[in-house]
Structure 1
Amino acid sequence: MYKLIALDIDGTLLNSEKKITPHVFNSIQEAKQQGAKVVLSTGRPLPGVTPLLEELNLTDDGDYVICFNGAVVQEVKTNKVISNIEMCHDDFKIINELTKKLNTHVHINTPENLIIPEATPHKYTIHEAKLNGIDIVSMDENEINDDVTFCKIMIIDEPEKLEEVITNIPKELYEKYTIVRSAPFFLEFLNKSANKGNALTALCETIDIPIEKTIAVGDEENDQHMIKMAGLGVAMGNARQSIKDIADYITETNNDHGVAHVIDKFILKKIG
């Protein structure tokens, strides 16, 4: 029944050691061999996903990836862009002013790097750069303009500080942007039309797969849109409770091969 499975990466595809378990690897290979599309759907930029696509043999004709929490959808082998929903300099100015008011930190995700409007990067900006194999570029905020490609803008800080930030974001910004927490220390702002659910819909329309025949698997708030949109929305056993609450099915944790369990049960029909 299911022809496509969209997989979040961190906390979903990868275990707590940031690795793909052999069981998960084998289930993905078998699903692909049986004709199912396996699509990585992540907040990461393409450079941060490419090693995993290569490891999983998801670089052939007809393989696709969703990056930047749905802002970019593209074919892996050709780099053909299916959907690209950007932000602009005015968005940066609004969010940057908010970070000043709330005494927190911001960085800009471009296709190639992270841009910070301060001299020294925050430790979580460094973490993001290392995770994705990209550089950090420091620029004076007055030098940041529409020559920059704004894929998404992130507020980064300690989890307890982000809790405070979230309670102080004006209501009109929630109406203006897609705002999702992708990790305890990452709060992401995207174009209002950009989310993993809309990206999954755009991809399905392009490759002519009914959305009802898709599975989406995730663990964090940035996965909520695709979990709601897919024919079968799955929360990891280690997911936030808010994600479990909207899911159709709850699988095992990422340390207990939860992705493999979903594939084995709903695509390969190996388990009841």
Structure 2
Amino acid sequence: MIKALFFDIDGTLVSFKTHQVPQSAIEAITRAKEKGIKIYISTGRPFPLINNIDGIKHLVDGYITANGAYCFIGDEIISCSPIPEEDVRTVIRLADEKDFACMVVGEKDLAMYRNNACADRIFRQMLNVRHLQTDVPIEPVLRQRILQLTPVIPEDEEERLMPLLQGCESSRWYPDFADITAKNVNKGNGLLAIAAHQGIKAEETMALGDGGNDMSIIKQAGIGVAMGNANEALKAVADYVTEPVDEDGVYHALKRWVFKSEM
């Protein structure tokens, strides 16, 4: 019996074409909520950049944000896992040396360091984060605990960077950037933290995702669902592959696994 649903946002709940949650997904999640199932978001986005789930926001019980670095339910923090300060300094230094943009996510604020055209295209256009400010000073953010670093670099540059960061790991769901968090911080462990807090067994959960940063949660959930538009590596480890986000994938997955006894 499924007691909790965990949804990635971009490419899972939200279409890259419309930047909205499909109506079929809204209706299916509403129906699941009415059955008493808990609804959780599991995203690489920091909370201030979650601007595209208005259709279901009132149904959400809690959040896994910044790829698991910051998990909360209401005003209660379930887990908060900062990156070691030395590793933060290393990434900032390399951004200066190699001239790449990097989003720096603190506990309270975030800043886009060395913003450029590529970063602007990704965050403002592809992800539709129109309110993202690019002139926020980095120094006040660096005085906070840093939860995630998102350098806008290709995969080969990420492979050279990560051995320099002893306390970090990375994930990638889009070719142009990587998400860096502290070691052992990922969506899968976020699911375990929230499930344990709520008295829910991992086998009583279902998670849906489409990207490389969803690998851990798809493996950890009782039922792991890959969207039809997911990458092939994620599909290979999923228990089920549903239709793409733009073809009512969330609806079909919930129909198959949550509402099957009602069919």
- Please state which band the TM-score falls in when normalised by the shorter chain: 0.7 to 0.9
Matches within 5 A, 1:156-175: 156-157=152-153, 162-171=154-163, 173=165
**Range with bigger deviation, 66-75 or 98-107:** 98-107
Give, as a single letter, the amino acid of the residue that structure 2 aligns with 1:218: G
d(CA) in 2 for partners of 1:51 and 1:167? 31
From 70, 73, 92, the equivalent of 1:72 is: 70
Contact map agreement 1:9 1:40 (CA 8 A) in 2: yes
Structure-2 change in CA distance of 1:114 and 1:145 (3 Å): closer
Alpha-carbon offset, residue 49 of structure 1: 2.5
Give, as a single letter, the amino acid of the residue that structure 2 aligns with 1:128: F
d(CA) in 1 for partners of 2:208 and 2:255? 14
Matched residue SS, 1:9: coil
Equivalent residue for 1:42?
43
Alpha-carbon displacement from aligned partner over 1:200-252 (angstroms, at most 9, x marks no partner): 00000000000011111101111111011111111111111111111111111
Equivalent residue for 2:200?
209
Alpha-carbon offset, residue 70 of structure 1: 0.8
The alignment status of 1:56 with 2:56, answered yes or no, reads yes
Alpha-carbon offset, residue 268 of structure 1: 1.2
Contact map agreement 1:83 1:202 (CA 8 A) in 2: yes
Structure-2 change in CA distance of 1:51 and 1:100 (3 Å): closer
d(CA) in 1 for partners of 2:141 and 2:78? 26
Contact map agreement 2:110 2:141 (CA 8 A) in 1: no
Structure-2 change in CA distance of 1:132 and 1:45 (3 Å): farther
The TM-score, its normalising length taken from structure 1, stands at 0.84
Question: What residue ranges of structure 2 are gaps of 5+ in the alignment?
Answer: none
d(CA) in 2 for partners of 1:205 and 1:194? 16
Give, as a single letter, the amino acid of the residue that structure 1 aligns with 2:205: T
Contact map agreement 1:102 1:165 (CA 8 A) in 2: no
Matches within 5 A, 1:80-91: 80-91=76-87
Matches within 5 A, 1:173-212: 173=165, 176-212=167-203
Alpha-carbon offset, residue 97 of structure 1: 3.6
The TM-score, its normalising length taken from structure 2, stands at 0.87
Question: What residue ranges of structure 1 are gaps of 5+ in the alignment?
Answer: none
The alignment status of 1:128 with 2:106, answered yes or no, reads no
Equivalent residue for 2:12?
12
Cα RMSD of the aligned pairs, angstroms, is 2.5
d(CA) in 2 for partners of 1:91 and 1:167? 15
Equivalent residue for 1:22?
23
Structure-2 change in CA distance of 1:133 and 1:66 (3 Å): farther
Equivalent residue for 1:265?
256
From 219, 226, 233, the equivalent of 1:228 is: 219
d(CA) in 1 for partners of 2:190 and 2:10? 18
d(CA) in 2 for partners of 1:152 and 1:25? 29
Contact map agreement 1:116 1:138 (CA 8 A) in 2: yes
Matched residue SS, 2:146: coil
